[in-house]
A and B are shown apart, each in its own frame.
Chain A
């Protein structure tokens, strides 16, 4: 089954404790991206990647890192999380950015 898999689904952590949210897709898509969803703000793009070893900043990249060492995986790294990073995070992939985006089920992150 074609899918984007994110883990974990829920995560509670404390300020400053490094964490990684994983994202994997099984559709051989070139394009992957991370979004955060906040009430009243919709989805805002954090980072995107057009292919292996090619990443670029979205609208709200501060405090986040990503890597794309393999085509299927695109982890999101918060090296020193802060409470303002409490949000619902989505990973998405597509063949190209102008094509249909496939979304993961989301990761609800709470930073205390």
Chain B
């Protein structure tokens, strides 16, 4: 079945540091890939998505590239802010299946 593996957290960074959160996946067919963010006390919200190989999703300074050869969708940001502190979830949807599979989440803490 489908699965998503994320790097374990928590990740603690200083403000303006470079961020990478690793995500790899196993899926049938050609899945769509997503990053969701969950701020404290809130539901998840979509951060970015990519629907085919080599697509790059981007939003709010975050980027992730759909790498089919390495089955990866790593999240990056060049300079994090305290306001980026949250839990980040990688997720996928296999085309034809009405189901979204989430990773376990990576907690990011950015300190001033």
**Per-position binary interface string of chain A over residues 93-112, scored 1 when its CB falls under 8 Å from any chain B CB and 0 otherwise:** 00011101101111000000
Chain A residue contacts of B51, Cβ below 8 A: 98
B98 at the interface (CB under 8 A from A): yes
- Provide the main secondary structure of the chain A interface: strand
Interchain CB contact under 8 A, A106 and B105: no
Q: Which bucket holds chain A's interface residue count?
A: 20 to 34
The residues of A that contact B32 with a CB separation of less than 8 Å are: 98
A101 with B36: CB separation less than 8 A: yes
Binary B-proximity of A44-62 (CB < 8 A = 1, otherwise 0): 1100101000001010000
B43 and A106 contacting across the interface, CB-CB below 8 Å: yes
A interface, CB within 8 angstroms of B: 4, 31, 33, 35, 40-45, 48, 50, 56, 58, 90, 92, 96-98, 100-101, 103-106
